[in-house]
């Protein structure tokens, strides 16, 4: 036991040092573990040959202190009538979350998976704010003994929820939209020493309401990669990607000649680890060159190209069979819409501890920080807007049976900004019962 505590303490010190040294962040988004991961961990009793079918259902109760992520801010130069745009209002929310996973095993080669998950949220008092989100997943993970590598993942999500998108558009307001995320790779493993890979990624987002058409875009990205084994479970890699973002719907005076459509080139280097060891995931850093297609936006402001470092690091360290630490570092450039030359540098860092406890208990503790640095003068201080986002959570799980678990958790979210109408603080208390067969 003493050895375990020493290992945990040493890892925590190292990760704390990394967190303190990095400029990073995570904006507030849904923090739930994907249902297919939960189902795979708890269920698996239905088998048809190599096919595993895992149905799941969960019920969650939430107290949310600030359902609109508001701050009661009223009169300012943007909102001269003094109307409260997003009030502070608390409520109780009941979630029902069904799901099913089909997992077809390809022995010694990979798997094919098909999953569905849904989330229906019902408010006790603010019933007009009820929302739902549904998601479908298809993935193929295949590696032939001769060397062929194939990976495909497609996630389709249809939502009518208040969680916004990657650029934080509509955060706290219920909006209808759908997203499709496709990632693919094909390559060859040469003698388990070298890998050559080609990548194709396609992402599309579409909002239903015409007022939100500035957020409708499609991304196409092509890439090449090379990996070399440097240790028994460790690969060094270099990757290059070229991509385009097309804002394909227009409204008002926004057209294809003045919207924020853009192109980018990015290169990444890092280390990747095979599964099954104490270290997993990727250490991934790079550099991106972003160039806008047009010279000026609909208001006549000049588009400014941006070159900066980027990151997509997610590393797991398991000093023991019951302890896992996860470090996430991410950095990206995010245009905020088709109708303006505004973008922000989104820099994120987060750390999570997952620990099994005696008597069928386990706990998850996490903290994330993000810094969003905008490029336009959009504050009341006449300086570039900067948001600092904080997200902390703790969750305790009890395995009542191998197929039934109970959770209790707490989450704290806060946005500090020099644009005072953007600030908010939110707290949530959650209890959940989940069954997977």
CA–CA distance, 51 with 219 (Å, rounded to integer)? 34
pLDDT one-digit tens code per residue, 145-188: 999 999 999 999 999 988 888 888 888 888 999 999 999 999 99
Each residue's pLDDT tens digit, 28-37: 333 344 555 5
Average pLDDT rounded to a whole number, residues 129-139: 96
> C-alpha distances in angstroms, 249 versus 208, 212, 217, 225?
11, 10, 8, 33
CB proximity list for 21: less than 8 A, separation 6 or greater: none
What pLDDT score does 276 carry?
A: 80
Residues 6+ apart with CB under 8 A from 375: 304, 306, 341, 342, 343, 344, 384
What dihedral do alpha carbons 139, 433, 166, 83 form, nearest 10°?
150
Res 39: pLDDT:
57
pTM, to two decimals: 0.85
pLDDT digit string, tens, across residues 8-64: 333 333 333 333 333 233 333 333 445 555 555 667 788 898 999 999 999 999 999
The torsion angle over the Cα atoms of residues 248, 252, 258 and 263, rounded to 10 degrees, is -30
**Could you tell me which of 314, 344, 316 has the C-alpha nearest to residue 329?**
314
What are the beta bridge partners of residue 256? none
Side-chain-side CA neighbours of residue 144 (13 Å)? 8
Phi, psi of 12 (to 5 degrees): -60, -40
Adjacent-strand bridge partners of 271 = 236, 283
Angstrom distance (rounded) from CA 422 to CA 86: 10
Question: How far apart are the C-alpha atoms of 334 and 351, rounded to whole Å?
Answer: 23
> Measured between alpha carbons, how far is 69 from 290 in angstroms, rounded to an integer?
31
Exposed e or buried b per residue across 157-194, where buried means at least 16 C-beta atoms within 10 angstroms of its C-beta: bbbbbbbbbebbbbbbbbbebebbbebebebebeeeee
Closest listed residue to residue 111, CA positions, set 156, 54, 52: 52
Residue 10: DSSP 8-state: H
- Backbone dihedral region for residue 110 (phi beyond 0: left; psi -120 to 50: alpha; all else: beta): left
Q: In DSSP terms, which residues pair with 347 in a beta bridge?
A: 331, 371
Q: What is the mean pLDDT of the chain?
A: 88
* Of 187, 301, 293, 297, residue with least CA distance to 239: 187
pLDDT in tens, 181-240: 999 999 999 999 999 999 999 999 999 999 999 999 999 999 999 999 999 999 999 999
- Supply the pLDDT for residue 220: 97
Distance (Å, rounded) from C-alpha 406 to C-alpha 426? 24
């Amino acid at each position: 036991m003493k050895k375990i505590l020493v290992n945990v303490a040493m890892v925590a010190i190292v990760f704390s040092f990394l967190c303190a040294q990095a400029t990073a962040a995570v904006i507030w988004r849904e923090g739930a573990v994907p249902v297919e991961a939960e189902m795979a961990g708890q269920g698996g009793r239905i088998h048809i040959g190599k096919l595993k079918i895992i149905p799941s259902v969960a019920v969650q109760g939430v107290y949310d202190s600030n359902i609109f992520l508001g701050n009661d801010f009223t009169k300012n130069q943007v909102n001269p009538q003094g109307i409260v745009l997003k009030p502070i209002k608390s409520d109780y929310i009941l979630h029902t979350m069904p799901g099913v996973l089909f997992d077809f095993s390809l022995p010694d080669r990979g798997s094919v998976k098909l999953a569905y998950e849904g989330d229906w949220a019902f408010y006790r008092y603010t019933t007009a704010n009820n929302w739902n989100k549904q998601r479908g997943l298809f993935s193929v993970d295949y590696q032939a003994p001769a060397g062929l590598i194939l990976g495909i993942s497609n996630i389709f999500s249809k939502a009518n929820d208040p969680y916004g998108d990657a650029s934080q558009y509509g955060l706290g307001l219920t909006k209808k939209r759908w997203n499709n995320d496709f990632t693919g790779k094909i390559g060859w493993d040469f003698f388990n020493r070298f890998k050559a890979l080609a990548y194709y990624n396609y992402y599309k987002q579409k909002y239903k309401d015409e007022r939100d058409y500035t957020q409708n875009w499609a991304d196409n990205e092509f890439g090449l990669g090379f990996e070399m084994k440097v240790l028994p479970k460790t690969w060094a890699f270099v990757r290059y990607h070229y991509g385009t973002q097309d804002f394909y719907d227009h409204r008002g005076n926004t057209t294809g000649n003045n919207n924020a459509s853009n192109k980018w080139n990015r290169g990444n280097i890092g280390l990747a680890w095979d599964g099954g060891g104490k270290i997993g995931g990727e250490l991934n850093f790079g550099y991106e060159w972003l160039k806008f297609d047009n010279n000026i936006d609909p208001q006549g402001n000049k588009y400014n190209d941006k070159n900066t470092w980027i990151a997509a690091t997610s590393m797991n360290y398991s000093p023991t069979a019951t302890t896992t630490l996860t470090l996430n570092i991410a950095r990206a450039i995010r245009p905020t819409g088709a109708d303006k030359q505004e973008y922000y540098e989104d820099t994120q860092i987060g750390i999570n501890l997952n620990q099994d406890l005696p008597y069928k208990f386990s706990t998850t503790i996490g903290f994330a920080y993000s810094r969003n640095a905008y490029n336009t003068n959009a504050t009341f201080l006449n300086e570039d807007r900067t948001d600092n986002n904080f997200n902390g959570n703790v969750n305790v799980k009890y395995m009542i049976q191998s197929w039934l678990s109970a959770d209790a958790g707490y989450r704290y979210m806060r946005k500090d900004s020099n644009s005072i109408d953007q600030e908010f603080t939110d707290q949530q208390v959650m209890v959940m019962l989940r069954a997977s067969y």
